[in-house]
Amino acid sequence: MKTLLQRYVQVLHVLGLIVLMAFATTAPLSAQSQMLPTSGTNTADTVTLPDPLTPEAIHEMVARMSDDQVRGLLLDRLDAVAAAQSAPAPGKGLIATLEETWTAFYSPGLSAIGKLSHLGSKQIEALSNFRSAFGDMGLLKLFAFMAIAIAAGLAAEMIVNRISKRWQGTEATADDATLWSALGFLARRFGREILGLVAFYVALRTVGLALLSPAQLSFAGPFVTYMIWFPRLGAAVSRFVLAPHRSDLRLVNIDDRWAAYLHRNLIGLVLLGGFTMFIIGFNTANGVAIAETRIAFWLNSAVHIYVALIFWTAREGLTQMMLGTDPDRSRFDVWVASAYPYFAIAVAAVTWVVVQVLSGFGYFKLLLTTPHYTTMFWLLLAPVIDTAIRGLVRHMLPPMIGEGAVAEAAYKATKRSYIKIGRVIAGLIVVLRVAEAWNLDLRNLAAAGVGERFAANSVEFIMTVATGYVIYELVSLYVNRQLAKEQTSVAGVEGDLGGGEGGGAGGSRLTTVLPLALVSAQTAIMVIFGLLAVGSLGIDITPLLAGAGILGLAIGFGAQKLVTDVVSGVFFLIDDAFRVGEYVEVGGTMGTVEKISIRSMQLRHHRGLVHTIPYGEIPKLTNFSRDWVIMKLMFTVPFDTDPNKVKKIFKRIGAEMIADPLYKDDFLEPFKSQGVFQFDDVGIVMRGKFMAKPGTQFTIRKEIYNRVRKEFDANGIEFARREVRVALPGLDESDNLSEADKTAVAAAAGAAVQQQVEAKAAEAAAAKGKK
């Protein structure tokens, strides 16, 4: 028992002050005089904390405590301290956070300005330390061995380039260069350069490891990497993309002047960035810390200023590059191309601000991995990425469906959709790469603090919106292609609309249903992903759903007529009662179905009038354009005409037209005679008929009229004309009639004609009334 007590006393000597002082600072003052129950068997014993809590009083209290009391007191206090440490710390206010951020932003600059006078001396100190570490002879050996290693690397690169030169293939000439030939040539050249650089690095490293000591390698390795290998790699990439000396092989749309300018300055930019990383590591390795000179501030600022200067000077060329060579540009594409140089300058400025803030907070270890350079690289690579997307779309896009304006519009819309989808996917990849550069795990950000949760919610919001947009474009792309396919299949008929007299053929059922399906699908996608995006920000969407349900009920009760129209329209479409382009009659209103919506249809009369009819007000619909039409034609010939002769003429005309390439595809049944239809008071009424596709009957009818007239003339057949014959007694004496008698005869004939005209008009009115 004494051994156990001694052990607890030893423990309390170490932890007693920490635990009890933590208790004194976290518990209420009244608790210091509280009687604590023991955890042993004797529950009546209590421990009173001494007041004041001095080391002597603690030792005296522990000396008179039992083992159970010591154990219980120690466990209770350790639990209290653990609970206090696990409790969330009070968050900082917005004002305090902004003040800290502002201080972190300007403090590196002030510190760099304050230490500017020591910059030269500290740099000389670093060089002096470097010289002292190796000595004059050691430096001579270092540079000599480095020269030998570099020469060995260059020799290895030259040998590899000569061996791989036959892989280059035939160089495309300016006259026959295409995208694929230029891309193949540049890719092979780029591969040769990369292979040569790899040989250079391997040979240099092999010779360097053999000649240089580890201390010498600590200088030679970063120098070769940052000052030689990286700039040469950047030059190879720039030659692949810009081809400064071969405009016919250039992959981006930019002229020679700006291509050469960007090529030179991109190499200079990589060289400046490499020098920045090298000198920081050099000073640190030679006893001069980053904070002592703040040279990183000046060099990093120079890099960002250089980037802004490049994009400001070459804004004309960069705008050309973003526009590309595709003639199908939208106004948004032109605006983006014009704004891109200024966006690049803004990226350089914002990245510089972020670096200063992180420097003020002391995140030098993160900044040494150059995430800001990676961010600028990906964000400023936008013209190349966009050019690649448009090039792939232009050469992988399916061919245009059909011909004409409808097919061309659909083709352009399809190309724009593919480009938009490619841009969204590329944007997501860039976001992931930038997040990786800053060591941000986008999946686990939500498990961190408030700021990280906000970042995670923002990233999830962006991802949700981007996913919804891609699905929106894919659905629109599929529906528009199907719609274009259906529309171009009937484009020839839609242009005529029944010869301008109504009754033209309509489109397919998909042509009518697909626009409504597209609108419905787009609306559903926007609503669903809109709610998901709002929910990803941490906002409870349950009230929104409840409000939408209440709104739906209100619409259902307050707009019953609207519901009736919508439901009626659904059943009309299910029954396939009409299609866009068909000629219909609704309650005495006739016209071509020009447009449909979820609650009404628009009819275009063949004289230009437009009628809007809600579906709920359609009692009966007559369709004049469905499947086929039969046209019956009447011809009146004199009584002495041979009907068989007319019948043969009709048969011959029908045979000629069914063989005519201009009309044969429009006939379903040829024109033929139906014989004598009736006799009237003028002559014999002969009737013929034909069956044709809707919309073509009027053109065929006109041609039949012309051919019948010509055949009748050729065969000596006249059309019957209305005549009035007046029988007068003593007509043999007509030459002896006086003027008064002739006037009387003419008046009697006129009265007879007028009587017959009125009779015919009455018969027509009666027939129309019965109809």
Answer yes or no: is 406 within a domain. no
Residue that finishes a domain, picked among 274, 296, 323: 323
> Of 303, 391, 404, whose CA–CA distance to 349 is shortest?
303
Is 382 a domain residue? Answer: no
Say whether both 161 and 15 belong to one domain.
no
Query: Coil, helix or strand for 365?
Result: helix
Whether 720 contacts 638, CB under 8 Å: yes
Longest dimension (CA), the chain: 173
Q: Are 324 and 253 in contact (CB under 8 A)?
A: yes
Q: Is residue 292 part of a domain?
A: yes
Separation in Å, CA 374 to CA 229, 264, 397? 17, 20, 32
φ and ψ at 600, to 5 degrees?
-155, 170
Q: Are residues 258 and 125 in the same domain?
A: yes
Query: By C-alpha distance, which of 596, 624, 413 is closest to 509?
Result: 596
In this prediction, the residues of the chain whose per-residue pLDDT falls under 50 are 1-44, 174-176, 445-452, 491-499, 771
Enter the DSSP assignment of 771. Answer: -
CATH number, domain of 548, equals 2.30.30.60
Residues 175 and 279 in one domain: yes
| Claim to verify: residue 560 and residue 702 sit in the same structural domain | no
Q: Which of 607, 623, 639 is the last residue of a domain?
A: 623
Shared domain for 190 and 156, answered yes or no, is: yes
- 166 and 26 in one domain? no
Terminal CA-to-CA distance of the chain, rounded, Å? 122
**What pLDDT is stored for residue 493 in this prediction?**
42
Q: pLDDT tens for residues 594-607? A: 777 777 888 887 77
* Domain shared by 619 and 640, yes or no: no
Do 644 and 673 sit in the same domain of this protein? yes
For residue 468, being part of any structural domain is answered with: no
731-769: pLDDT as tens digits: 555 566 666 666 766 676 667 667 776 776 776 666 555
In a domain? residue 585: yes
Residues 613, 633, single domain; the answer is no
What's the CATH code of the domain at 701? 3.30.70.100
DSSP bridge partners of 612: 602
Nearest alpha carbon to residue 489 among 413, 404, 414, 409:
404
Angstrom distance (rounded) from CA 164 to CA 149: 22
At 477, list the tokens: 């792309």
Domain check: are 169 and 290 in the same one?
A: yes
Closest of 705, 710, 699, 752 to residue 728, by C-alpha: 752
Cross-strand partners of 633: 688
CA–CA separation, 655 and 422 (whole Å): 57
Q: Are residues 266 and 303 in the same domain?
A: yes
Task: Mark which of 597, 623, 649 sits at the end of a domain.
Answer: 623
Q: Are residues 618 and 696 in the same domain?
A: no
- Omega into 52 within 30° of 0, i.e. cis? yes
- 346: in domain: no
Instruction: Look at the chain and report how many structural domains it folds into.
Output: 5
CA geometry: angle 517, 523, 525, nearest 5 deg: 100
Q: What phi, psi does 36 have (nearest 5°)?
A: -95, 125
**In contact, 568 and 615? CB cutoff 8 Å:** yes
Q: Tell me which residue range forms the domain holding 694.
A: 629-714
Distance of alpha carbon 77 from alpha carbon 266, whole angstroms: 63
- What is the side-by-side strand order in the sheet with 684-692? 629-637, 684-692, 667-679
Conformational region of residue 166, where left means phi above 0, alpha means psi within -120 to 50, and beta covers everything else: alpha
Distances (CA, A) of 176 to 172, 173, 185, 253, 433: 7, 6, 13, 18, 38
Q: Which of 142, 123, 231, 251 lies closest to 186, judged by CA? A: 251
Say if 642 falls within a structural domain. Answer: yes
299: in domain: yes
